[in-house]
Chain A
Amino acid sequence: MRVPLSWLDELVELDASPADPARVAELAATFADLGLVPEAVEAVPGALEGVVVARVEAISPIEGADRIRAVVVDAGSGPVEVVCGAWNFAEGDVVALATVGTTLPGSTEPLRRRKMRGATSSGMLCSAAELGFSTDGAGILLLDPATPVGAPLGELPGLGPDVVFDLEIQANRPDCLSVVGVARDLAARVGARLRPPAAVADPTPWLGEREGAPSARPGPDGAAPAPGDVRVMGAIASVGIEAGAPCGRLDGLVLEGIRVGTSAPVVARRLSLAGMRPRNSVVDASNYVMLETGQPTHPYDLDRLGAPGLVARRARPDERLVTLDGVERLLEETDCVIADASGAAVGIAGVMGGESSEIVAETSRVLVEAAWFEPLPIAQTARRLGLRTEASARFEKGCDPEGASGALARIAELLGASRPGEESAVVGEGPPGMPAVRERLSAVSVLPAPPSVAVRVQRVNELLGTALEPDAIAQLLEPMGFGVGHEAPERLVVEVPSWRPDCAREIDIVEEVARQYGYGRIVARPRRSPGVGARTPLQVLRWQVRRLLAGLGADEAWTATLLAPGAHLAVGVEGSGLAVANPMVAEEVELRSSLLPGLLGALARNVTRQEDALRLFEIGRVFRRQDGPWPAESEFAALLLAWPGDDARAAVQAWRTLEGGLRLQPVLFEASAVDGLHPGRSARLRDQAGCLVGVVGELDPAHVAEAGLVAGRRIGWLAVDLAALLAAPKKPESVVVPSRFPTAEFDLAFVVDDETPAAVVEERLRGAAGALLVHIALFDVFRGPSLGEGRRSLAWRLRVAAPDRTLGEEDLAQLRSRCVAAAEAGGLATLRS
């Protein structure tokens, strides 16, 4: 919400000059403390120096010129002659004169005295557009005839230098989507009085008492009202609400004798400062009042309606409407429309009016609609149509159900329809040709009733840590329009004003008290948990894994959860089968089932940046569709190894590091084809209980090449399921006391078929060595013609020691033959001589 200081100053006595930065900063801080946070504070220069108010004294033709005229104006210091090409003014009109030397907006050159066809032009009569007030450049700007001639334009109220506070209004504060609402909060905080415009404070003089009468008569379309319909017939027009329409109020105001023109400069300027484009006096008045009071209204050309009157109803099946922006909208039955009395839709309720009854230059009779709609249907319609307007933004958050009268009266006032005290101008008795209110109509179905809320003083003070007396609470609430009654000594009854849909419960009132009291004044109190802060075992494990993987030289990556369709298949893994229904972009659709596509993509991107020697790891969630709406969600740690020389071996070594670091019982390598991995260089990792812990190996060469990497490049891969790691059996928390007796060492080499895993032979050796084994390591793998095709030699070094004695020659010989016998059993291996 963009709020000009000058506008605010009109509604609250602030005594703040835009030229006083300290005062402006103070106001900005106050707004922030009220929760109306300024996102920006903009200083705006005033209307131009050198532009003065002038009265047209004489207009005369210039010989030989039919598009320009010579005009003599009085600018307060004698006659000035100018040449003007506009025709929208007459002698006696008050206009804006840019004197010689003035530089107008959008120009870099100062105005100079010029001779045109023998006439001298000592200045220029300006349009609203030339002054930067609006986009209207059709004719020159006509000022209020009462404006003092000779006054600098910049010194007129509302046209001077200004400051615009761009306030962020929270979703629960529709009342502050208005200058009056903002002013009300501010006034309450600074202890100043709120001065709403007279017509808003008391609409009666502008509206009169006649409101039309509820009627059961058939409407002009001949249809009798259905049960639950509300219809109010006036002499000129009618308003109604059909049963089932999400509309609580539909008020109308008939104005006649309207001359559509350019708005007063202050109106145009304030609309511009607030971020809206000035259009014409009628539309501008409607927008101005919306910005001022928060009540959106819509003006219809009464003579362009199919029949004079408005009805709020649900849209019909397949109903279409061309909105003001010239777009044809297909409506749905959940939408609410405003129809004219003939039944034709003339606007989308609360969102945008229709083109057919738009105010045009010739409009003279206007029917202004001011309504209250249920927020949710308006929000749904606006969202579905992608049509968020200033009106829908207000209706969908909840407008004041009592806001219509003030807004209509204010529009009448702005259009000069009638003034307080001018009896003759009220309701249909104005002089002919003058704007006049002819009829006021009001249809009401069901409106939300502002609640009264019981508030316990003790509860307020408990929650806020304050010691406020009941009267102090009342003094905080009442300036914002809340009524406060004392029900019992410690119990207040708070009457919520109609414009505060956010306040319905005690806690809502507590918040209001806190807000006006000032959050900054509430004294902080340190609070510690009575418990002990500790990570869960999974959280401890996750940090261990992270540290171990980083210790292996891998940098931690963060890749996208949402992948392009086919991204999984491209690396040979099955997708999650789970997609988002409303993706933002086509590349981010499917939930990942594996960290492989993301990490391989990250590697490929680094390779294109000449960074091709790297190790990356990621810990993140992966998903898989299963029966029912909930997917299977699990957390994986994955390591991609792409240093020069990295391959499946490096991946196994990395696994060994994890296994040791996490004190896992040795896992079993189940050699098998794993999706996405080299079928001959991959294994599933199973813990002692047979549960799958992860996979290890080397990426399938096909996908490595597809990812844009050098063909033949080997990439190691390790992926583990954190929950499975956590559940996998750990080594017991006990120690083996190292033997104090000498350790002996011997080597054994066996010839083994390629199909026989080294781990199987090693396991036999472990078993045979038993408790004497200190350490066993495979230290050599050899293939050669001497061994024959499909066979290799595997050599282990065993270190052994007994806890209670030195192992002698005989012990060692026995141990050695036990190991050989175990390895050779069943012909699995043959001792290499």
Chain B
Amino acid sequence: MTGSGSGHEVRGEPTPEAVLGPLEAAALAAIRGARSSDELAAAAADALGRRSTLAEEQRRLAGRPPAARPIWGRALQEVRARLEGAVAAATALLEEAERQRRLAADRLDLTEVLPAPTAGHLHVVTQTLQVLEDVFLGMGFAIAEGPEVEDDWHNFTALNTPPGHPARDAQDSFYLDVEPAGSMLLRTQTSPVQIRLMESSPLPIYAVVPGRVYRRDTADASHLPSFHQLEGLVVDRGIGFPDLAGTIETFTTAYFGPGVRSRLRPGFFPFTEPSAEFDITCTVCGGEGCRTCRGVGWLEMGGCGLVDPAVFELVGIDPEIWSGFAFGFGLDRLAAMRWGIPDVRLLMENDVRFLAQF
């Protein structure tokens, strides 16, 4: 073997390159060619183990001529380091491939998941109420409540609707079979809570009153004998019609969005004066006129007005000092309007296929 390029060449002795070069090439090929961790372990043992050629050469080092020993020593170290590096690299590659194989085997089609029990659904009227409650809470209003069984005083008389008043006809009532007859009824409106508030709360009052009310109506697509109202009452100094209009505008915009406007037009309620009905621009056609709004561009929402001084006098509030306004509207109708519910009887049918849509 003829060495070249080395000043330390000793005649008759093979150079480290000549001996270790092929050895390293073969070992590298075996390491890089390993297809599994077992193969790699075998290749690593062949290349670097105690019985490897490299180990043999290591042991032979002491028998080398002293001048050649440093050269051989360095060369052996370098080969060993390169082979060890190759083993580490091959190990990492194999582990990554192994991980990928395991992940691939672990694949899950997420659309084949069996249905699990889901959360239930709040009733659409409840959800409507929650949105509105939050609007009014944001305006600083309290939420007040009252009994569903009322006496005639709170439901009618104190609301400036004495016996025989024509407005009682429009609200045919369910009376209870208690003595004295005709004294107790299922409330026909949430307005009696106005009276309860004015009787018991310190002034000023800013409150809304949600609740279930009852009228002796035959159920049809747009009527239920029981339904839900949201009533509002404000009593303060210096309240006038502009405050009423502003409040209606604020909450209708908050609920329906900025594209919806409201308007007031004269109406009649015994406990407000001036009284008004309030409309919003049709949510279907935006005011252009369509079938939903019967071509007029407006949808009737509810009633409102300034608190009639007679009501203040009945509850002992001085109408010369205090003034106020009240408003009310049907939640069920509002929910039906927003969701396009064609028949309000669906609201009370409790068909889970309906309930689960909200």
Contacts and interface: CB of A to CB of B under 8 A. Distances in A.
Contact of A511 (B125, B249, B265, B273): B273
A588 to B, nearest CB: 7
> Which 4 pairs of residues, A with B, have the shortest CB-CB distance?
A35-B266, A529-B140, A170-B268, A529-B206
Nearest to A602: B350
Most buried by A among B125, B126, B149, B349: B149
A498 B20 CA distance: 129
A173 B166 CA distance: 11
Given A550-B120, A559-B348, A614-B352, A579 B149 contact: no
Interface stretch (A290-298, A399-407, A533-541): A533-541
Contacts of B125: 558
27 contacts: A32-B265, A35-B265, A40-B294, A170-B267, A464-B240, A507-B306, A511-B274, A519-B241, A519-B245, A519-B274, A522-B241, A522-B264, A529-B234, A534-B137, A536-B143, A551-B119, A553-B118, A556-B123, A557-B350, A558-B123, A558-B347, A560-B348, A578-B176, A580-B175, A584-B216, A621-B147, A621-B212
A611 B266 contact: no
B164 interface: yes
A621 B339 CA distance: 26
A560 B206 CA distance: 31
Interface stretch (B73-81, B88-96, B98-106, B177-185): B177-185
A519 B276 contact: yes
Interface of A: 28, 32-35, 37-38, 40, 170-173, 375-376, 379-380, 383, 396-397, 462-465, 505, 507-508, 510-511, 514-515, 519-520, 522-536, 539, 543, 546-547, 549-562, 578-584, 588, 591, 602, 605-606, 609, 611, 614-617, 620-621, 623, 625, 629-631, 633, 643
B140 A530 contact: yes
B285 to A, nearest CB: 15
B241 A606 contact: no
Contact of B130 (A37, A543, A581, A605): A543
A396 B167 CA distance: 11
A554 B351 contact: no
B166 A397 contact: yes
Nearest to A525: B242
A631 B149 contact: yes
A178 to B, nearest CB: 17
Given A173-B268, A463-B323, A531 B347 contact: no
Contacts of B310: 505
A583 B267 CA distance: 30
A550 B180 CA distance: 42
Most buried by B among A170, A505, A523: A170
Contacts of A561: 148, 186, 212, 214, 226
Contact of B242 (A524, A556, A578, A588): A524
A47 B206 CA distance: 58
Contacts of A553: 117-120
Contact of A558 (B206, B216, B242, B348): B348
Interface string B155-179: 0000000001011011000111111
Given A511-B275, A560-B226, A611-B353, 9 more contacts: A171-B166, A519-B241, A528-B139, A533-B139, A535-B143, A581-B176, A584-B216, A605-B351, A616-B350
B9 interface: no
Contacts of B296: 28, 32, 38
Contacts of B166: 171-172, 375, 379, 396-397
A533 B137 contact: yes
Contacts of B294: 40
Contact of B352 (A32, A525, A611): A611
Contacts of A519: 241, 245, 263-266, 274, 276
A614 B118 CA distance: 11
B268 A520 contact: no
B277 A525 contact: no
Contact of B355 (A173, A557, A581, A584): A557
Contacts of B120: 549-556, 615, 617
A529 B235 CA distance: 10
Contacts of B138: 533
B355 A555 contact: yes
A171 B268 contact: yes
B235 to A, nearest CB: 11
A556 B241 contact: no
B4 interface: no
Contacts of B275: 511
A34 to B, nearest CB: 6
A38 B296 CA distance: 10
Interface string B224-248: 0110000000100011111101111
A463 B355 CA distance: 45
Contact of A629 (B117, B184, B349): B184
Contacts of B117: 553, 643
B122 A550 contact: yes
B70 to A, nearest CB: 57
B25 to A, nearest CB: 56
Contact of B306 (A28, A463, A532, A543): A463
A171 B164 CA distance: 12
Interface of B: 117-123, 125-126, 130, 133, 136-143, 145, 147-149, 151, 164, 166-167, 169-170, 174-184, 186, 204, 206, 212, 214, 216-218, 225-226, 234, 238-243, 245-250, 263-268, 273-277, 294, 296, 306, 308-310, 323, 347-353, 355-356
B142 A531 contact: yes
Contacts of A609: 351, 353
A546 B142 contact: no
A625 B178 CA distance: 9
B206 A531 contact: yes
A690 to B, nearest CB: 27
Given A462-B240, A561-B214, A580 B176 contact: yes
A726 to B, nearest CB: 13
B350 to A, nearest CB: 4
Nearest to B170: A171
B143 A558 contact: no
Contact of B174 (A383, A522, A536, A580): A580
Contacts of B133: 535
B264 A520 contact: yes
Contact of A529 (B122, B141, B267, B355): B141
Contacts of B323: 463
Contacts of A515: 266, 274
A306 B138 CA distance: 73
Nearest to A546: B122
Nearest to B225: A584
Contact of A583 (B174, B234, B348): B174
A553 B119 CA distance: 4
A532 B142 CA distance: 8
B270 to A, nearest CB: 8
Contact of A557 (B123, B164, B247): B123
Contacts of A464: 240-242, 274
Contact of B121 (A172, A555, A620, A621): A555
A364 B240 CA distance: 60
Contact of B241 (A35, A463, A532, A555): A463
Most buried by A among B183, B266, B347, B353: B266
Given A507-B309, A515-B274, A557-B355, A581 B181 contact: yes
A582 B226 contact: no
Contact of A514 (B142, B226, B243, B274): B274
B23 to A, nearest CB: 55
A621 B147 CA distance: 9
Nearest to A531: B140
A37 B142 contact: no
B184 A588 contact: no
A680 to B, nearest CB: 27
Given A529-B140, A562-B174, A555 B356 contact: yes
Contacts of A643: 117
